[in-house]
Amino acid sequence: MKIKLCHLGQFYSAVNSEKNPGTYSVGVHLKEPLKPKVLQQAANDLIKRLPHMNVRGHSGFFHYYNVASGKPLKIEKINARTQPCRHFKKGSQLLRILYGRRHFTLEVLHSVCDGRSLAMAASSLLIRYYELMELKADKSGFVDCAAAPDKEEAEDAYLSHADMRKSKSKKTENVYIPKFQPAKHRIITHKFEIAELKPRAKAHGITLTEYIMAGIFTEYAKLRAKEDVEKPITCSIPIDCRGFFPTKSLRNFVTHKIVKMPETTDFAKMVAGIKKQFETITPDFVQEKISEMERLIRLGRFVPLFIKKWAIKGVGHSATAGCSTAFSNLGLIKLPAKIQDKVDMYTFALGPEPDVPHLFACVATGGTLTLTITTSAKDISIMERIGKNLKEVQAYGA
């Protein structure tokens, strides 16, 4: 099997390195000890069902490809030396399944799939795991690991919905990036009860995504004030295109929007300004964003890869540049009741990016929301402050 990569996959294959691994992860934490042998069998069944995820990266003359691994995917036990969201070395399988005493985590290079797809794979693996232990549950809306592969799930959805239109996006701004003392990257997790956060967001008439972003902006504004600079603060938000253009594809189908922090000391005005920017995410906006990248990739389709890879890097960096940080929310994962009772929480984490000290991500299931920060900064106190702010009455600048 040989899969030509979408424009997002082309970018991450071009930049993949130890400093910019292009990885992310979805973890499932159980209330009971995990059985590794059962998990391995469930993983075998998942990979047979989703063979396009058991692949290795390959460089052609004109394009990057993923090719079938040809080897079984073996789960790996986490130890003290395991670094989260680490670099995939050239020629290695681009999906890892890690496990600990009460949890398992799927890590992947972004050339394989996006966050929604990886969350689907993780949930389907979870359901298959308990199915092998004779716990039957409704698999509607999930991947049935006992079924045959579906070719439509491995399609490039961008090709179906992109056209050759040009983007109307503005030029990249010179934005505020916090100064930080570098350290080995790690992932910090905060756990929240949704019942505590939702009323606070509702009181401002905004979503949890917008509410959490306001908390992040609040702390970034404080950091900026200490450094006595006036550059704008921005955040890159991934957008799941499936909400606008339905597809069965379990590969990449996302774009992004850069949200700028409203320059106000009034929290109500700040959240209103954030909400207004989210309201501009329309089908036309999404179509324009995915089309711009696809147009540029198509224009260079006959340029040799050893030349084109530098252009791919430039296009990708220009699409995501101008960001102080990034925040990705996978939303609420709804599981069958029998399976939900077995789960403590999900986690979602982004891989590190060069020169960006903090990256944020969250996911929810049951009544629990987890917020992670992937950080390469020695000082991680910002995560504690954001967590505290989200649980208290907001007062911007306090």
Taking the domains of the chain in order of start, what are their residue ranges?
Answer: 2-160, 173-335+350-391
CATH number of 2-160: 3.30.559.10
pLDDT surpasses 90 at 166: no
Distance CA(108)–CA(97), nearest Å, equals 9
* pLDDT at residue number 317: 63
DSSP 253: -
More confident residue, 371 or 391: 371
3-state secondary structure of 161: helix
pLDDT surpasses 70 at 322: yes
Mean pLDDT value of segment 296-305: 77
What pLDDT band is residue 395 in, cutting at 50, 70 and 90?
Answer: very low
Mean pLDDT value of segment 202-227: 92
2-160 and 173-335+350-391: identical CATH topology: yes
* pLDDT at residue number 334: 96
Of the ranges 170-179, 224-233, 257-266, 368-377, which one carries the lowest mean pLDDT score?
170-179
Q: Which one, of 268, 286, 65, lies nearest residue 156 by Cα?
A: 65
Tokens of 191: 């756990």
Q: Which one, of 222, 230, 239, lies nearest residue 277 by Cα?
A: 239
pLDDT surpasses 60 at 200: yes
What pLDDT band is residue 210 in, cutting at 50, 70 and 90?
Answer: very high
The strand pairing partners of 302, in sequence order, are none
* pLDDT at residue number 259: 96
Mean pLDDT value of segment 268-286: 94
Looking at domain 173-335+350-391, its CATH superfamily turns out to be: Nonribosomal peptide synthetase, condensation domain (3.30.559.30)
CB-CB contact of 312 with 11 (8 Å): yes
Residue 368: which residues within 8 A CB-CB, separation 6 or more?
Answer: 191, 192, 193, 194, 344, 345
Distance CA(9)–CA(110), nearest Å, equals 6
pLDDT surpasses 50 at 27: yes
What pLDDT band is residue 97 in, cutting at 50, 70 and 90?
Answer: very high
More confident residue, 241 or 266: 241
Of the spans 99-103, 351-355, 392-396, which averages the highest pLDDT? 99-103
CB-CB contact of 105 with 34 (8 Å): no
Tokens of 124: 């389907």
More confident residue, 301 or 72: 72
Count H helices and E strands in the chain, helices first. 11, 14
pLDDT surpasses 80 at 59: yes
Share of the chain above pLDDT 90, in %: 61
pLDDT surpasses 50 at 162: yes
What pLDDT band is residue 116 in, cutting at 50, 70 and 90?
Answer: very high
Residue type, 375: T
- Token pair 């920017």: residue: 277
What pLDDT band is residue 315 in, cutting at 50, 70 and 90?
Answer: low
Mean pLDDT of the chain: 89
